[in-house]
Chain A
Amino acid sequence: MTIELIAGAIKAILMIVAALSLSLFLLYFERKGSALIQDRIGSNRATITGLGKRMGMPNLGIINTTIADPIKMFTKEDFVPAGADKFLHALAPFMALFPVMITFVVIPFGDTISISGHRIDLEAANLNAGALYLLATIGLGVYGVALAGWSSNNRWALLGGIRATAQMISYELAMGLAIVSVIMTFGTLNLQEIVRGQGGVWFGFLPRWAIFTQPLAFILLLVAGAAESKRIPFDLPEGDSELIQGYFTEYSGGKQAVFMLTDFAEQALVAMLLTTFFLGGWQIPWLMRDGFHLPGGAFLALPALAVSLIGVAAFLVKVVALCVFLGTVRWTLPRLRYDQLMRLGWKGLVPLGLFNVLVTAFVVVATGRVQ
């Protein structure tokens, strides 16, 4: 009992640390990656001792983006506009961040490991209704944004809040339909079981990842997830050329940093969801519990703990790769117009999602995988 409690606490802390580190990485990629894509130099000034500069090393802007920027934000004046609803204005950033951070607990990041006879699932909370939990928490994220826009007593902020609410509600539906088709494929709501179901290979080379059985659902979740995280091309709620900064126009200092953290954490969450549902989570092709079974009969034995740790590393590699992909999309595509956004959501993604669920249902019944 005690060891389970300790393991649970460690896993929860690990997951929060992973989410925050990924957000920091995304912040770095936002600054330096965009500079690389747009052929700029980007931030390259701040150093702590100047030692690297004297030794002739190029400044990669790591101190600028990961240390100087957050310190700057959290030491700035925390401004509340006149006529704002002070209580809700202060509460809104945390109402936006909280649902995102608690969603991370159901993401499985590794296989079961056994430490001195105790089997520990590498998932902060192994819920049987994990997918439902996910949909519930993601659905709550809209209130922070909506209330931030409303409580600021600012027209731009309110417009941003209304846009964000409409957008998130519309794309949640497509997201839910994509997840439903994956649930039907694997016949379980438990995310760890869904990842387990993606182990092994077809025809000796093709991993049994759901991206190959549910390619349409993958695209749906990718697009809807990008829209949920409110990044370009779906950044209409923030739309800085139209709405100044959208729903957080009237935020400064630490609270603005919380909103930015929410956006980055959502992006990391979308990458983790895509990895879990479609890219096999912690699964590596040919890696089984005792080691690599390579095609052609080659076998490389590995201890069980090493196999688990390699799985965790594979999960992280997939997540970071997807984060980089989402970040690249953010700096490549132009922003959609509002009517285009609504048409894509309601006339494109939702019918496609319903169609995909219908086809999946037929296939599941035809292959006789129903009890």
Chain B
Amino acid sequence: MPPFLYIFLGALAIVSALGVVVQRNPIHSLLALIATLMTVAILFMGEDAVVVGFLQIIVYAGAIMVLFLFVIWLLNLQVETGPTGHLALKLFGSLAAALLVTELFFILAPPRLQVKFTHEPPGYGSLASLAGKLFTDYLVAFEVTSVLLLAAVVGSVALARRLPGTDDPRAAGKIAS
């Protein structure tokens, strides 16, 4: 990836990430978050992590953000007008943010952060190499995670399910189907 493209995409990612926080309209924040995810995905692809980049778009930008959209719609979130919260909260918030920035500065300051550029062999980020790692070195972790996700799916279905006659009759059978 040429340096100017890297800098451009990085700047775009930071600007859109700021947009997520700065926008008052929740839908605009969501769009800014999608833009951030997309630019980070393209950065991944530019660094040969092609599969990670595409998965980021498919899973995060394409599916999870749609879920966020639904939540915003269902909660009917409106544009925030005027300042919110108490002065003490704001003070505490600024203090915490300042602490975080200081901490990040000490972690990322040049003497500690050793940037090493390594040249990976071609096909490093391809699906074949990723799948090879997942199904050999990390097989147990991979399978355990999938069982965990399956349990979460079953649990959410069980929670959302309404038995006929026990609850609001209009909801019976509709949510589960």
Contact = CB atoms under 8 A, between A and B. Distances in A.
Is the A/B pair a real complex? yes
Interface of A: 85, 88, 128-129, 132-133, 135-136, 139-140, 142-143, 146-147, 150, 158, 162, 165, 169, 172, 189, 339, 342-343, 346-347
25 contacts: A88-B31, A129-B51, A129-B54, A132-B58, A132-B127, A136-B57, A136-B58, A139-B57, A139-B61, A139-B63, A140-B57, A140-B61, A142-B66, A143-B31, A146-B66, A146-B69, A150-B73, A162-B70, A165-B66, A165-B69, A165-B70, A172-B62, A342-B177, A343-B177, A347-B177
A129 B57 CA distance: 13
Given A132-B54, A133-B54, A165-B69, A143 B126 contact: no
User: In the complex, which of the residues B34, B57, B61 has the most CB atoms of chain A within 10 Å of its own CB atom?
Assistant: B57
Given A135-B62, A162-B70, A189-B127, 4 more contacts: A132-B55, A147-B31, A150-B73, A165-B69
Interface residues of B, number: 22
B177 A339 contact: yes
A179 to B, nearest CB: 12
Contact of B51 (A132, A162, A343): A132
A343 B176 CA distance: 10
B69 A128 contact: no
Interface of B: 25, 27-28, 31, 34, 50-51, 54-55, 57-58, 61-63, 66, 69-70, 73, 126-127, 174, 177
Contacts of A158: 73
A30 B102 CA distance: 63
Contacts of A135: 54, 58, 62
Nearest to A371: B128
B80 to A, nearest CB: 15
B113 to A, nearest CB: 31
Nearest to A87: B28
Contact of B63 (A128, A150, A169, A339): A169
Nearest to A166: B70
A147 B27 contact: yes
A339 B173 CA distance: 11
A139 B62 contact: yes
Contacts of A85: 25, 27
Contacts of B66: 142-143, 146, 165, 169
B62 A129 contact: no
Contacts of A129: 50-51, 54, 126-127
B177 A136 contact: no
Contacts of A136: 54, 57-58, 61-62
A165 B72 CA distance: 13
Contacts of B55: 132
A346 B51 CA distance: 27
Contacts of A346: 177
Contacts of B69: 146, 165
A5 B126 CA distance: 24
A346 B176 CA distance: 11
Nearest to B126: A128
B177 A162 contact: no
Contacts of B34: 143
A165 B71 CA distance: 12
A158 B74 CA distance: 12
User: In the complex, which of the residues B51, B55, B58 has the most CB atoms of chain A within 10 Å of its own CB atom?
Assistant: B58
A227 to B, nearest CB: 16
A70 to B, nearest CB: 30
B55 to A, nearest CB: 8
B174 to A, nearest CB: 8
A185 to B, nearest CB: 16
B51 A88 contact: no
A128 B50 contact: yes
